[in-house]
Amino acid sequence: MNTLKIKETPINYNVVKNKISESGLKNVGLATIRELVRLVNEIEEETGDKFIRMEMGVPGIMPPEVGTLAEIEALKKGVASKYPMIDGIPPLKDEIVKFVKNFLNIDVNRNSCIPTVGSMQGGFAAFLMISKLDKTKDTTLFIDPGFPVQKQQISVLDLKHEAFDVYNYRGEALREKLESYLSKGNISSILYSNPNNPSWICFTDTELQIIGELANKYNVIVIEDLAYFAMDFRKNYSIPGEPPYQPTVAKYTNKWLLLISSSKSFSYAGQRIGMLVISDKLYNEEYETLENKFGNPKFGYNIIYKILYSLSSGTSHSPQYGLYAMLKAVNEGKYNFVDDIKIYGERAKIMKKLFVENGFNIVYDKDEDELIADGFYFTVSYPGLTGNELIEHLIYYGISAISLNITGSDRHEGIRACVSQTSKDQFSDLEYRLKKFNEHHQQK
Ligand SMILES: Cc1ncc(COP(=O)(O)O)c(C=O)c1O
């Protein structure tokens, strides 16, 4: 801490300093999310002060009751003693088919709708499977910034990846940039999240079309991570069977996997259940390499009966009933899931305003020429500080976030703030702390 000279920080300066030094972290800005969580927990415990916790993307609201009740009922019926089908219980598969039709306007066969242990497992299974298809195509291309754990998965699997920050390549500019990677011939798959973690940019239809067209041209599989399904609150994607629909690359190409998480859209993170939806074309696609290795050439068959079987032999039984009941209620128009989570957008609007009023800038601020949405995350910077420095400085002010550095972003000045754990009654604290921060850091 060279630049922070003032010690009247909202959180006891010496405690923070000692805790950072005890943590052994050489650079707090480069800490993983879980390391930051631990550091902030310790400071909170020692000082008794509550932080504005913006480092971790956990849902901040209760799960829908319809899911909880369905799980209880399933447990009472004894599902805990039975192995679930690896490809999912039939009623859930049917509701996923309907959900995909109702909210994406895409047709899929029920075989292609598979529950996974969170989208985390869906992604891991996809990477593993795709790596076995073609030896010459051995690399996943990440359109960054992105969710760091997916790169960790690639690393754990000893696979290859390339990545670029999309910040300077929005709209038509994306075409040439993507093509510069795909034309080399080594890219097997493209992954991005939409809405994006961490920046909350949302790809426009023009951009999704470009991704789809180039995937077709270069025979590349698209893994579209919809972890924040329908959470671009600028549009109302919540009415079953009616436009507008959640935008998707599935409209523009036919070899795709969708990772639809229930963690944020249904506040169901603890049950670790997500949906892996595979296009019918890819599900039925045959590969000689798979035939040679597994005795069956089909992509869909192998991802279920070889990959998911090996990973966890299916997804825990009762959450499948919980998700089934929630999707059924949503598909029948009895439960509007977006109404429950809109609160994140309302919070973001106020919190962004507080940051901007106190000298911060929004880093990823636009989708082509439209201002970005208010949602689960936003990104900010402060003049004269790098993102890593900013993370460390903010800790003295009782605010925790993560640096964009660990997300593949080139905007090294930025940090990601998650709104989910900050309630309305903390806004005045946030405002006070940001004011103090600005007072202490303003360039004279
Ligand atoms: C972009 C992205 N993908 C995937 C996940 C993981 O989702 P799940 O909880 O369903 O495993 C997250 C969770 O934060 C995420 O932000």
Residue 227 CA, ligand 1 centroid: distance in Å? 5
Domain-wise residue ranges, the chain: 13-49+342-441, 65-331
Which ligand 1 atom is at minimum distance from the Cα of 57? Answer: 14
Residue with CA nearest ligand 1 atom 12: 227
Instruction: Give CA–CA dist 274/442, Å, rounded.
Output: 45
Instruction: Give CA–CA dist 300/276, Å, rounded.
Output: 11
- Write out the two tokens for 389: 């420095």
Pocket of ligand 1 (CB under 6 A): 57, 118-120, 147, 193, 197, 225, 227, 261, 263, 269, 274
Which ligand 1 atom is at minimum distance from the Cα of 274? Answer: 10
Amino acid 2: pLDDT:
46
pLDDT digits (tens, 9 = 90+) for 108-145: 999 999 999 999 999 999 999 999 999 999 999 999 99
Strand partners, 417: 378
Residue 418 CA, ligand 1 centroid: distance in Å? 13
Residue 377 CA, ligand 1 centroid: distance in Å? 13
Closest by CA position to 304, among listed 133, 152, 138, 126: 126
The strand pair at 274-278 and 113-116 is best described as: antiparallel
Instruction: Give CA–CA dist 87/224, Å, rounded.
Output: 20
Instruction: Give CA–CA dist 262/270, Å, rounded.
Output: 10
Instruction: Give CA–CA dist 324/74, Å, rounded.
Output: 11
Q: Best substitution site from 119, 272, 416 to test ligand 1's pocket, by max atoms within 8 Å of Cβ?
A: 119
Which ligand 1 atom is at minimum distance from the Cα of 147? Answer: 1
Residue 8 CA, ligand 1 centroid: distance in Å? 38
Residue 228 CA, ligand 1 centroid: distance in Å? 8
Q: How confident is the model at residue 443 (pLDDT cuts 50, 70, 90)?
A: confident
Residue 11 CA, ligand 1 centroid: distance in Å? 31
Amino acid 8: pLDDT:
87
Which ligand 1 atom is at minimum distance from the Cα of 193? Answer: 1
Question: Is the pTM value of this prediction over 0.85?
Answer: yes
Residue 7: pLDDT above 90? no
The one-character DSSP state at 400 is E
- Write out the two tokens for 223: 């893994």
Residue 58: pLDDT above 90? no
Task: Work out the average pLDDT over 188-215.
Answer: 98
Q: How confident is the model at residue 32 (pLDDT cuts 50, 70, 90)?
A: confident
Q: Best substitution site from 231, 259, 263 to test ligand 1's pocket, by max atoms within 8 Å of Cβ?
A: 263
Which ligand 1 atom is at minimum distance from the Cα of 122? Answer: 11
Q: How confident is the model at residue 6 (pLDDT cuts 50, 70, 90)?
A: low
Which ligand 1 atom is at minimum distance from the Cα of 123? Answer: 4
Residue 1: pLDDT above 60? no
Fold entry, domain 13-49+342-441? Aspartate Aminotransferase, domain 1 (3.90.1150)
Q: Provide DSSP, 312-360.
A: HSS--HHHHHHHHHHHHHHHTTS--HHHHHTHHHHHHHHHHHHHHHTT-
Residue 222: pLDDT above 90? yes
Residue 369 CA, ligand 1 centroid: distance in Å? 27
Amino acid 253: pLDDT:
98
pLDDT digits (tens, 9 = 90+) for 354-406: 999 999 999 999 999 999 999 999 999 999 999 999 999 999 999 999 999 98
Which ligand 1 atom is at minimum distance from the Cα of 196? Answer: 1
Given the structure tokens 């809405």, which residue do they identify?
Answer: 195
Instruction: Give CA–CA dist 222/20, Å, rounded.
Output: 41
Residue 70 CA, ligand 1 centroid: distance in Å? 23
Task: Work out the average pLDDT over 28-56.
Answer: 93
Fold entry, domain 65-331? Aspartate Aminotransferase; domain 2 (3.40.640)
Residue 304 CA, ligand 1 centroid: distance in Å? 20
Closest by CA position to 167, among listed 352, 351, 372: 372
- Write out the two tokens for 365: 């601020």
Instruction: Give CA–CA dist 194/178, Å, rounded.
Output: 17
